[in-house]
Each structure stands twice: as C-alpha cells, then as structure tokens.
Structure 1
Amino acid sequence: MAKVTGIGGVFLRARNPTRLAEWYRRHLGVPMSDGAAVTFHWTSDETTTFALFAQDTDYFGEPGQHAMLNLRVDDLAALLDQLRASGVEVLPDAEESEFGLFGWCVDPEGNRIELWQPAPGM
C-alpha cells in the first residue's frame, strides 16, 4: 500500500509575502530567502519547505484556502489510484519536475493537498 512518509512542506497565502518573510526572519529567526521560502534539511534525504505565496495564487485551489500541506509519499501513482478507488477527489493534473512527481487531492473539508514523490536524492 502506498502511503505518506512525511511532511514535504507547509505553504501559506500572504497579502505581502516579502513583508511576512521578513517578520518570520526578524521575530522567529526563520532563515527565509528573498523568495519567501526556506527548506529545512533534517537528514540527507529528508527536507521540509516552508513557503509564502501571494494571496491571489491559484496554486492552492479555492481562494478561501489559506494553507496547503505538501505530503511526501513513497509511490505517487499507486497512492492516487488508491485514493480514486476510495472515492477521494483526485485532481486530474499531475506534474513532473526536477524535484520529483506531484499530484493533488482534496480532503472532505475542501482543502487541496499536494502529494510529492521526491526525485532520487531529495
């Protein structure tokens, strides 16, 4: 059975991502980049990214969704098949990039969840 193996990222919408990134840097010591993101490296092959997105991003799906989880998975294709077979809403588009494979599902509350099968070495 395919499954989630960790949290790949936490993404927040922000009215002003640059200003909010500065707040996280100054007040919490989070080493946010100029692009309003940081990747924490827990082990050589385990990372978690915290990123801020513009308020009007369509990456999260519905405008009312203020945060999106990125969950690391061991077999994206198999997990998406399992979810579909269980009646879970799986979004039709999947993506492949240098970072790995990405797919999305929607939980019962309407929150889009990003599923990520990392590329080897990530």
Structure 2
Amino acid sequence: MKKVTGIGGILFKSKDPNAMNEWYKTHLGLETTPYGTSFEWRESEDPNKKGLTQWAPFSETTKYFEPSEKDFMINYRVDNLEALVEELKKENVTILDAIETYDYGKFIHILDLEGNKIQLWEPID
C-alpha cells in the first residue's frame, strides 16, 4: 500500500499571520488570503488531475499544533486514509483524533517518534 503520496501543506506559527501573508504577497508574489495560499499542480501519472499544496501561517498562540511543542506542522497527502489509520493503529502510532470528512477531503492527526503533530489528508479530487 502506498502511504504518503506528497506534501499537502506546510503550516507554521507566526507572530502576525496577516503581516506574514502580506509580506509574502508583496515580496514573493504569493496570492494570499487569510488562510495562506494554495499551490496548484498536476499529477505526473494523470495530468488531468489537479493537486494542491497549502501554505499557511497560524497565530503563534494557536493550540492547533498541540500536543506538539513545535512551531510547524506538515500535512501529508495519502491515498486511503481509513486503511492507513488501521495499519498505524496496529503499529502503535499515536493517533490524536478521529477521521473528519469535509467537502475537500478526510483528515486525521498523528504524532511521529519525536512528538511532532502530523496531519494526514486524503483529498477528494
């Protein structure tokens, strides 16, 4: 089973997310919104399928990255989240919550070996 298929997003803490968005917009040309920006790309195996990678600054006081003490969280794209979660449970990986489904995909959070919170995302293409 192929597990991770790519990077879905880079999420990080910032003293002033709005100023950070504006700086990247002004100096590097990112088309930012209050949620950061999405980079659109095409899958190499099927160029008709689009993918997204999210870049998003969060407030430095966010609790969203807890229980990790790091200032960042990586979102990984996966193919079959339910099957992967079952496999991770058997491997005693710490799973922080239940799978949540939105109109743009399914999500769950886990911890890696050093306690970094990781977001797994099965996109709905």
Alignment TM-score, normalising by the size of structure 2: 0.87
Gaps of 5+ in 1: none
Structure 1 residues 74 and 57, CA, compared in 2 at 3 Å: closer, same or farther? same
Please identify runs of 4+ aligned residues in structure 1 that moved more than 3 A: none
Paired residue for 2:46?
Answer: none
Paired residue for 1:41?
Answer: 40
Paired residue for 1:24?
Answer: 24
- Cα deviation digits, residues 56-75 of structure 1 (max 9, x gap): 22221136221111100000
Gaps of 5+ in 2: 43-48
Paired residue for 1:81?
Answer: 86
Q: CA deviation at 1:82?
A: 1.0
Q: Distance in 1 between matches of 2:114 and 2:88?
A: 16
Q: Distance in 1 between matches of 2:16 and 2:92?
A: 37
* CA RMSD in angstroms, aligned pairs only: 1.5
Counting matched residue pairs gives 119
Q: Distance in 2 between matches of 1:36 and 1:26?
A: 16
Instruction: Tell me the percent identity.
Output: 38
Within 5 Å, give how 1:89-108 maps onto structure 2.
Answer: 89-108=94-113
Q: Distance in 1 between matches of 2:35 and 2:91?
A: 36
Structure 1 residues 63 and 108, CA, compared in 2 at 3 Å: closer, same or farther? closer
Paired residue for 2:120?
Answer: 115
Matched AA of 1:19: A
Structure 1 residues 116 and 11, CA, compared in 2 at 3 Å: closer, same or farther? same
